[in-house]
Structure formats: structure tokens, C-alpha cells
Amino acid sequence: MPTVIHSSLPLWACLASLLAAPVIVLFGREPTLREATTFAAGLLKFGLVLAMLPWVLDGRTVEYTLIEGIGGIHAPIRFRVDGLGMLFALVASSLWIVTSLYAVGYMRGLHEHSQTRFFAFFAISLSATLGVAFAGNLLTLYLFYEMLSLSTWPLVTHHQDKEARSGGRTYLAYLVGTSIGFALPALIYTWVKTGGEISFGPEGILASTDIGPAQGMILLLAFVFGFSKAGLMPFHSWLPAAMVAPTPVSALLHAVAVVKVGVFCVIRVFTGVFGVDLLSRLGVATVISWIAGFTVLASSLIAMSQDNLKRRLAFSTIGQLAYIVLGVSLLSGHAVQGSMMHIAMHAFGKITLFFCAGAIFVATGRKYVSQLDGLGRRMPVTMAAFAIGALSVTGLPPTGGLLSKFYLVWGAAEAHQPALLAVYLISSVLNGVYFFPIIHRAFFRPPIDAGEDTPGTGCCAGEAPLACVVPLSITAVASVLLFFFPGLLYDLSALMTGGK
């Protein structure tokens, strides 16, 4: 049985949403057809990803080379689907379908302008996300990474007001500035150091080179900070600035696609560029561990002071991304596996929270934590889903977040790092400190005067439109189901760690 399957399915999975973008523009004056195209592309993309799942679970990889090089330079655009890429692709492609439904309710409920442009760039950004997930080498990864930055900028600046333009400038300055200033030179150095070999492998691209600790440290920092979508401090300010975007953008791109692309790239650097064995010999990963540990605690403390609900969620996201980076930098099998699982567990929990924040805004016009008193009586489904999402991100049963955090803590103990283990535990307490008061306000305080609310199109019992409520209910239920049925995520992450 071949261990490598050559198939164009990874390419078509990426193209499914990219080819849908011009059709969405074509149907700009027919909202029903425009949105039907979005759903059709989403279902097709998810179906193509599922078609490759049995091969990957069988321990095989799917590869496809689009071009071998340009101008006589051997620098191929190559796709490669393994356990890590499949895990990320499943999360991104499935949640795009749910988010598309949510976007319809949100955008229509608030009568947002330029909805055609919104859905077109949404589709392009998902194409770039799967391109990163299925990248077979550093060049392909970098190109799709940049494509994602550029295609999401119009989404971040969607409102086109002063605040949106300012947030968009910060967004591009951080993401494109760091990728060109750090990641691109690191890519070129790796290409030169290896004689043009940049394809990911189980041992790492640099495993057979003579790179020393000083070179390794500089190169590792350049890659980690160059992929600043991971949100590590001090290159994190783009994420709260991007919260000026409509909530569907914040939900998918800043709880799943953009930020998870960042940590996905960091995991690829650790496992596919350096390799765990080389990093262990060089002893350079500890620096990243402490940067990530500081980011975890600092962002949690900042989140506690935020009254704007989306900004609180943004700083929470920064901390949870650092969880993943910290886990992979510990270099222990269970920590790396926990990092991979946390990509999915956090995605479902955090997208639920963003969905809830948007539903609250659509139904009431409220966007501050101090305005949520008694809202659980008016919007019980939304606030119950918020409670489930908060449990998952905090890492409490019965939600999937408990399992990934358990593996991360186990990995920290396995790596003999009690201080970093304490970071995980203290941070989880801080997660509860900034989430549970919101739940208490919603369900146990008397309602505030609703006379000044500015709701969009409401639904029964004061909830947002069903197109908003149904998706947040689905992702909340999924967060619970992942606690009871984590087998697929475990199997895919185990493929990359040998089940250790």
C-alpha cells in the first residue's frame, strides 16, 4: 500500500471557494442566489476535504505539485495533506458553512452595506486558509499566508469609517510587515542553508544541516514572530484592532482562520522545519516557551479589564493562541498533541462566544459587558450558548476544551517544566475570572432599562434572527460533543506525534 497518494483533491479543495468568488459577485443583485453560491461552495469544499480523510487516517499523505518552479529556479508550489493539515482543514471548512449562515442573519439583520463584497472576500480568505493547511513546503505556506492577509483586509475595513481604516492599517502593518521583515528572510535562509530543499518532512527540513544554537535561535525567532497571526506579544496589537470588523469576520477569521493559520504555521516550523529532535539538541525552544507563557498571563490580565465584549474576547484569543505555541515549544509528545487538539477545541468554543456577541448586538445594539445585566432572561438561548463557550475556553467539563488543556498540562509535566505547568493552571483560573462574571450578570442580575436599545431584526423572545441563533446553538452543542467524542481529533493529532 503506497504511503503517498498523488491526487489533485487538495488543489480543488482550495479552489472551491476561490472559484465561487466571481459567481458571488455576478449574483450581487440577487441575494438569495449569492448566498446559495456561498453555501454550495462551502459544502463542496467540506466534501472534498472529507474525501481525503480516510487516506489520512490510514497513515498516508496526499500530495500534488502544481508547478515545479519559475524561471529555472526549483521552488515548487506543492500541496501535502497530513494529520495536522487535515485537522485544521476540517475545522476551517466545517465552520465556514456555519458562519455563512450566521453571516446571512447578521448582515441582513443590521442591513449592512456591500454584502456582495463581504461574501466574495470571505470566500477568497477560506481558499487561502486551506492553502496554508495543505501547504507542502515553506514557499507554498508563505504565499497562501500572504494571500490570507490581503484578502481579509477588506473584511476588517468593511465599515469604511475612521475606526475601520485605522484598524485596517494596524492589521496590515503588523501582519505584512512581520511576514516580509522576518518570515521571508527566514525562508530564504532556510532555502540557501538546505540547498533549495524546503519541503516539510517528519524529521524537519533543517535536520541534516550543521545549524548551531545561535543561528537556530535567530531563525526560530524570525519564523515565530514573522508568522505574527499567532498573536504572540509584542506582535499582538493587530488582533484587538481588527475587532472593528463585523462579527462574522471576527468569529471565523479571528477565532478560526486567521489566528489559527498563525499557530498552524508555528507548529509547522517546530515540527516540519526544525523537527523536535533538532530543537531538543539546540535547546532554543525554551525562549519561545517563556515568551508564550508571558503572553498567556498578560493577555488574560488585560482581558479582565475590557468592558467592550469583543475586545475581551480578542485578548482571550491572544492568550489561547499562546497556549498552543507554548504547548508545541515544550517539545513533549502530549504537549504537541494537546496543541493540535486545542486548535479545534478553542475554535468551536471561541466562535460560539463571538457568535453570541454578534447576536446580542443584532438584537439589542449592546456591545459592552456592563450592559448585559439580566440579558439571560431576554435571550436565554444565546446566553446559554455563551456559557458553554466560556466553559470550553476555560477548560471545564463537559466541553472539549477540558481535553486539550489536559494534554497541554500533561505535556508540561512530561517536559519537567513545573513553572510552565503553573502558567496553564493560573491562566485557566483567570479565564474563569473574566468569563464567569458575564454569565452572572446575564442570569443573576436584574435587567437594565432596554429603552435605549437599538436592535436590528429581532426574533421570538427577544433573541436575534434564527440565522444567528441556529449557528451559535450548533457550535455550542459541538463544543459539548467534542468532550464525549474526541476520537477523530485524537487520531489526527496522534498521527503527527506517534501517539505519544
Q: What is the pLDDT of residue 262?
A: 92
Q: What is the pLDDT of residue 242?
A: 77
Q: What whole-number distance in Å separates Cα of residue 324 and Cα of residue 483?
A: 18
Q: What is the pLDDT of residue 460?
A: 41
Calculate the alpha carbon distances from 33 to 28, 45, 96, 117, 331 in Å. 8, 18, 18, 14, 48
For the chain, give the secondary structure using H, E and C.
CCCEEECCHHHHHHHHHHHHHHHHHHCCCCHHHHHHHHHHHHHHHHHHHHHHHHHHHCCCEEEEEEECCECCECCCEEEEECHHHHHHHHHHHHHHHHHHHHHHHHHHHCCCCCHHHHHHHHHHHHHHHHHHHCECEHHHHHHHHHHHHHHHHHHHCCCCCHHHHHHHHHHHHHHHHHHHHHHHHHHHHHHHHCCCCCECCCCCCCCCCCCCHHHHHHHHHHHHHHCHHHCCCCCCCHHHHHHHCCHHHHHHHHHHHHHHHHHHHHHHHHHHHHCHHHHHHHCCHHHHHHHHHHHHHHHHHHHHCCCEHHHHHHHHHHHHHHHHHHHHHCCCHHHHHHHHHHHHHHHHHHHHHHHHHHHHHHHHCCCEHHHCCCHHHHCHHHHHHHHHHHHHHHCCCCCCHHHHHHHHHHHHHHCCCHHHHHHHHHHHHHHHHHHHHHHHHHHHCCCCCCCCCCCCCCCHHHCCCHHHHHHHHHHHHHHHHHHHCCHHHHHHHHHHHCCC
Q: What is the pLDDT of residue 500?
A: 43
Q: What is the pLDDT of residue 454?
A: 55
Per-residue pLDDT of the chain (500 residues; tens, 9 = 90+): 468 899 999 999 999 999 999 999 999 888 889 889 999 999 999 999 999 999 999 989 999 999 887 766 777 899 999 999 999 999 999 999 998 888 887 777 666 777 888 889 889 999 999 999 999 999 999 999 999 999 988 888 877 778 778 888 888 899 999 999 999 999 999 999 988 888 888 788 988 888 889 999 999 999 999 999 988 989 888 888 877 767 777 777 777 788 899 999 999 999 999 988 899 999 899 999 999 999 999 999 999 999 999 899 989 999 999 999 999 999 998 999 999 999 999 999 999 999 999 899 888 888 899 999 999 999 999 999 999 999 999 999 999 999 999 999 999 999 999 999 999 999 999 999 999 999 999 999 888 765 555 555 444 448 888 888 999 999 999 999 999 999 999 999 998 776 44
In this prediction the pTM is 0.93
Residue of 46, 53, 48 lying closest to 97 (CA atoms):
46
Give the domain ranges of the chain: 4-497
